Structures are given as C-alpha cells and as structure tokens.
Structure 1
Amino acid sequence: MSGTSLDGVDGVLLECGTSPAAFKVHAAASADLPDALRQALLSLNQSGPDELHRAAVAASQLAELYAEVVAQLLQRSGLAAAQIRAIGAHGQTVRHRPPRDGEPWPYTLQINQPAQLAERTGINVVADFRSRDIAAGGQGAPLVPAFHQRLFGHAGQSVLVLNLGGMANITALPANGAVYGLDSGPGNVLLDLWCQRHTGAWFDRDGAWAASGREQPELLAHLLVEPYFLQRGIKSTGRDLFHAGWLDERLRGFAGLPPADVQATLACLTARSVALAVQGIAWGGAGPQQVWVCGGGSRNAHLMRLLAAELPQAQVQASDEAGWPAQWVEAAAFAWLALQTLEGKPGNLPSVTGARGSRVLGAIYPA
C-alpha cells in the first residue's frame, strides 16, 4: 500500500484464517518513497505537460519499489514466492473523481504496473481494486470498511475505525451490526504540506509544532465552510480537492497569523471534520464507545489528544492496542481484498460506497 501521504510503501505478508482471530501477519516491511518519485507522483495530482509519459515512468518506478518490499517480506518470513497466492497491489492514487451531481464520466486512477510486478516477483498480482465499484455507480472508496468490520467489529458495541492517512476515512460499526464508511476529509495532507513549507520537515513529528501554536477559531470556522464537510451520507475525496491551492485560497485574509497557529488550526480541522462525520452516522445510540485509529496520523500525539477531546464519549486508541500495529492495517486490508478477488467474493460494501450492489473487485495478473 502506498497512500495519499506519499511517504512510502507499506507491505504485510498476511495469512487469512477462517476467522479474523486466525489471521496472522508473518512479516511486515516498508520502504520510503525516493524524493524524486514522491515529487513525480505529487505533480500528477494536477494537469501538466507530458502527463502520459510521466505517469508511465512513475508507475514503473513504483512497481520496482513494490517488488523491493515483496522481497523484504519473503526474506523476513522465510517463505518462497511459490508459497504466496497473490500480491494485492493498490497502486498510487493520482486522481479521484467519483460520481458527483452534474459531472459526467466519473473515474478514479491509481497508477501501477502490475504486469511488471508479476514479472519481477513471480507471484500473481491483483490490482485495480477501485474501478469496478465506480463502474457500478459507487465512489470507489473507501474500500477498507469490509476488512475493518472483520477485524474490529464487536457484537453489542459501537466501534469506530479511523484511518488517518493523507486523507481521513472512517468505518462506523454500530452495535446493531450495520456498516457505514466515508472519507471525512483531510487527515495528514494539509498538516504535512504546511509543515514542509515552513520547516522543511516532511511531517510534524508527534504534532509538536502544532502543539506549540494556538488554534484560531475564526480560521477554523472559515475552513469548515467547505461544502464537502457539510455533505452528509456517502462521499469520498482526495488531493483533487484538498491540496495547496485549496489551503492558500482559504488563508487569504489570515496572512498575519504565525505559521505555528495555522498548523494548530489545521490539526483542529482534521479532528473536527472527523467528529462532524461521526455525528452524521446513524449509530442508534450515543455514538461510538471505542475508536481504533490506524495510519500514520495515529503517531501524532497532539492529533490523538484533539480526537479524544472531540469524541469524549469514546475511548480513543491506536490500533496497536488491539493487536494490529497502525502501519499494518491498510496494507493488510488490500491483501485480504486480493484474496476476495481470487475466490470470486465481493470486496465492496454498497452501504459505504453507494454502488448498485456487491462486486468482485480487481484484475488478476498471473505470475
């Protein structure tokens, strides 16, 4: 998995037992995205010259990085390529234009070279998970709630699973057994962008810089006017909306604010937009009792404190406390989705994506 934070590639070697309790991670590995590849992928989020060539080259470079992570997983586990049923390779999202009122031809685009990955590894590859859900009228995202339900669902308890990557997505598991999910808005993407611009660091470690600033209520209110936050029901988003231009436009008139105060307010924006999304869920009660947080944002201590303040009725914890380290969860989800594809089983949840029905996702590239 390489997500919208554009920080690296995470991989797990997952054995799927007959129940989630029997799931076993044999190995985990990660690799940083080289700066040149990160910039190439970031540039593809917006229109530019020679896009087709640049996208093809970046996809090939990304597939090589995936192959390196696969090699690490095999070495650490002691397993051979012939013992692996498939690689679930998500690819890198560079455009996400799901169905919207009045806009024709919805699509989502994850660049990848699954054929190259199959050649390099000698392992079946399952890729292109999102396009079938889009074809069926869905948002193509989020796809992880079906896995979250299996992993974190708890009979009689209302649970929220929050993935804090570049974007933030939630899986709501009310005690009545229903499943809901959506993208609440920016997770780390604006925090990382502002931190890179003003400190040169790729991210705000532990949220220390944000914690040094002061939340600006007027700026927060101005940011929350964004129509996406006001939209209820099924929805998904990405860097197509929440990018540097979006932030710069909304900071007009706030030029005198200290950069640390802006960072503090952006952290509040992430936490508040999650809380707003949670409030829009039909919980059948007071809301979630337990919140499991995964993704890189779970390592941001300041952001975790803000989330706990926004969701005071719940216990907010990193998924590590449930036995699933935060960096493993999304990669494990796409390993499981690859298995669903191989077995001809649906991978999407229409209650989450809005698709016309359950669909088998992905395309298989044989070894």
Structure 2
Amino acid sequence: MTKVIGLISGTSVDGIDAALVEISGTDADIKVDLLAGETYPYNPALREKILEVCEGKCVSMEEFAFLDDAIAVAFANAAIAINRGYPQADLIGSHGQTVYHRPPKKALGTERRNKSALRQGLEITNSQSPILGYSLQIGRGALIAHLTGIATVSNFRVADIVAGGEGAPLVSKVDAYLLSHPTESRCIQNIGGIGNVTYLPARTGKNWDEGICGWDTGPGNALLDLAVKQISGGTKTYDEGGAIAAGGTPCLELVEQWLRQEYFQQSPPKSTGKELFGPGYLQQCLTDAQGYQLSPSDLLATLTELTVASIAREYRTFLPKMPDRVLLCGGGSRNVYLKQRLAATLAPVPVLTTDEEGLSADYKEAIAFAILGYWRQLGIPGNLPQVTGALSAVLLGEIHHYIPPDGVS
C-alpha cells in the first residue's frame, strides 16, 4: 500500500481540499481507501489576491512569484495537517490553483499558419489564434516537496496540452476505474466553479472503455458565487444549500437566451473556465436581466437554472445516450436546490452523489489527483485522449523529489 496525499483548490477558490489515501494496484485494478479528508480555507487576503489575478488584474512578476510561493506554502501546510496522526505519506499529488485556462483553437488552417509563423520566428499577434491551449496552475510543487519533505507531483495539465489536448478534464480515467458499473451507464458530474462530466458506458465487453467520453459542461458554481458576493455586499461567498435560490422563481426566457452562448454549441472535446464564465459573463447576465425585474432570489434561481439546463442540454446533445444514473460530486453536490432541479430536469434518470457509491463527493477531486500522482510515479499515463482531445495517452505531472540538507537523513 502506498500512502498519497491529494491536494486541489478549484475554480471557486473556496480553499484547499486535501485527501490522505492508501492506494494499491496499478490502473484497472486500482483500490483506494480514504484515511482522512479536510478542506483548509485560504487566508482571506490570499484568497482575494488569487481572485484578483484570476479576474485579470495586472501584477508584477515579483508579486506573481510571491503569490506562487504563498499558495505553495498553504498547500504544504494542508498536506502536513492532513498527514498528522499517520505515518508520513510516500507521495503528494498537487493540482495547485488554476489562475488561467485557455482552450486550444481547433481550426486546422489557423494552426498551420501559426506553426509556419513560429518556425520563421514571427510574432503571434492578438488577431492570430494560438496553436496549443494554455493552462496555468500555481503553488509550485518544488516548494511543497521542500517544505513537507515528501516527493510531490504537480503541473499535471501541461503534458496533455503538449499532446494537443485541452488539459481538461483530467479525472475521467480515475472515474472510469473507481465508478464504472458492470451493467449500467453512468455520468459522473463534478460541479465546482465549472462543471465537468465523464460518461461511463456499462463495463461490458473487452473494449468498454473506448466508449468513455467527457468534457466541461459549462458554469457550475462560478456565476452563483459571484452573484451572491455582489448581492450580499461581500458578506457571503456562496448560497449555502441553495437556500436563497430556492426562494425565487427562475426566468426561463433568460436561461434560453444564455444557452445560445457559443460554448454550448461547440462539440467535445472542450474545456472552459472563469475566463469565459466569470465576472464579465455575470455582468452581461445582469444587463440581460434588467428588463425582467428579478429579485435577488429570482436572479440566483435563474443562474442555478442555467447550470442545470446547460448540464441537461449537454447530455442530450453530445452523449451517445442518456445515462442510467448520474453521480454528483464537488461543492455543487451539496447545493440542495440545484440537485433537486437537476433531478427534476433529468428525470427519470436518478441523480445521486458519489458518496452513495463509496467515494467521497467532497474529496473526489483531491483523491483523483492523489491517484494521478501515483500513476505518474509508476509511469502509467493518466489522461484519456478521447476526453481531452490529446493525440496520445501521456504521463501527467512533473515529479519534484525532496533532497534533504547535508547530514540530514
């Protein structure tokens, strides 16, 4: 058995989810036992700085380096805390904090032009499209390894992006080996700041896994959290249990208008982030809503309905067939109103949580990055090319080994 700590802070920037797990097996036969799970909130000042950077505020390189280190220190402290009372973990898999995500452009002609420009050493201007996607997670693994004394795998997305992929979602292979079922098809729906899905066909036949697909479905909690912060004047950061939204009435006309956004028309593989579904998008939503005289509860109910309707529409448009069961995880799985609305919209498909399959809904993403770190150490590819759009399966993450000072064993 290998003890691994998984660490992640999602696009909601709520705090650091930490999971200490024992892992055995390799890939298809992998077994995971959750020993401890906890969420460690960011220092409020650090959280505000992260949100400012995510929202595009300009900072100097010195400030950015300080932020990178401050996040790494917070992650290292979370790892030390979750390990307390247990023998020291063998490995840490740290996703870090995403501060920017740009999906790749898919127009072949544009890619060819840009490759030619790069080979000639020409500058790529804003009017030209990038060849590869770009995704930046900070909280450097080298410092986490140095502070904890534990080898740390980080920077998971880059290898998939280099292979032409979206760099997201990365947890689909983990979903496949932990949550697939012999006779029923399933959707594993994570609802963090952004929503993502893994579709798992029934585990029948030798090549069942070739039918797996997945992508980012659109906004999860991101717009809701931003709206709550604005409505409450900063006194609240989220709608606990969906209680405020539950007191309102969604404006379905607005939801249909918002669903015409280009992202929802794009076929998978695809990924997104708060660069699209962030403050600018919320302000457009608020502008669109001005003529409808919505109360704060109505607005939150309407934004919740956007998350629900986008998930349902993505399933009905892009899945090979509707699943037999949906399993929720992430912070949105604790939003009672959102879960009720999703269940009503997807009926008769049952909507449960991964808790009911023995896998913590709160810490599934942290567990996943513990497993991805474990696979990296074993030399096992962690991505699924049919999900991310990569040209091949690749090893994910960079390993940072702890090197003790001279004379220290």
Q: TM-score, normalised by structure 1?
A: 0.95
- The answer to whether 1:251 aligns with 2:293 is no
Pairing of 1:207-222 with structure 2 (within 5 A): 207-222=242-257
**Farther-moved stretch of structure 1 (165-174 vs 320-329):** 320-329
Match of 1:131 among 158, 164, 178: 158
Pairing of 1:24-43 with structure 2 (within 5 A): 24-43=33-52
Pairing of 1:1-367 with structure 2 (within 5 A): 1-18=8-25, 22-76=31-85, 78-80=86-88, 84-100=89-105, 101=107, 102=110, 103-105=129-131, 106-175=133-202, 177=208, 178-199=211-232, 200-255=235-290, 256-283=293-320, 285=321, 287-367=322-402
The one-character-per-residue Cα deviations of 1:60-87 (angstroms, maximum 9, x if unpaired) are 11111111111122214x212xxx2210
Q: Which amino acid aligns with 1:250?
A: C
Return the alpha-carbon distance in structure 2 between the equivalents of residues 355 and 280 of structure 1: 22
The one-character-per-residue Cα deviations of 1:227-282 (angstroms, maximum 9, x if unpaired) are 10111221000011011111212332422322211110000000111111111334
**CA contact 1:172–1:281 (8 Å) conserved in 2:** no
Q: Which runs of 5+ in 1 are unaligned?
A: none
The one-character-per-residue Cα deviations of 1:163-187 (angstroms, maximum 9, x if unpaired) are 0101000000122622111000010
The one-character-per-residue Cα deviations of 1:7-50 (angstroms, maximum 9, x if unpaired) are 01011111112266731112222200121111111111243333
**Farther-moved stretch of structure 1 (357-366 vs 98-107):** 98-107
**CA contact 2:144–2:152 (8 Å) conserved in 1:** yes
Q: Tell me the CA shift for residue 53 of structure 1.
A: 2.6
Return the alpha-carbon distance in structure 2 between the equivalents of residues 9 and 144 of structure 1: 17
Return the alpha-carbon distance in structure 2 between the equivalents of residues 268 and 20 of structure 1: 38
The one-character-per-residue Cα deviations of 1:290-330 (angstroms, maximum 9, x if unpaired) are 11100010100000001101211311112111112211100
Cα distance 1:57–1:36, how it changes in 2: closer, same or farther (>3 A)?
A: same
Return the alpha-carbon distance in structure 2 between the equivalents of residues 129 and 365 of structure 1: 12
2:126 is matched with: none
Return the alpha-carbon distance in structure 1 between the equivalents of residues 13 and 104 of structure 2: 25
Return the alpha-carbon distance in structure 1 between the equivalents of residues 333 and 215 of structure 2: 18
**CA contact 2:23–2:30 (8 Å) conserved in 1:** no
CA RMSD in angstroms, aligned pairs only? 1.5
Q: Which runs of 5+ in 2 are unaligned?
A: 1-7, 111-128, 403-409
Give identity over the alignment, percent: 39
Cα distance 1:278–1:99, how it changes in 2: closer, same or farther (>3 A)?
A: same
Return the alpha-carbon distance in structure 2 between the equivalents of residues 64 and 137 of structure 1: 32
Return the alpha-carbon distance in structure 1 between the equivalents of residues 49 and 159 of structure 2: 27
Q: Which amino acid aligns with 1:65?
A: A
Q: TM-score, normalised by structure 2?
A: 0.85
**CA contact 2:152–2:399 (8 Å) conserved in 1:** yes
Moved over 4 A (4+): none
Q: Tell me the CA shift for residue 134 of structure 1.
A: 0.6
Q: 1:23 is paired with a residue of what secondary structure?
A: strand
**CA contact 1:288–1:313 (8 Å) conserved in 2:** no
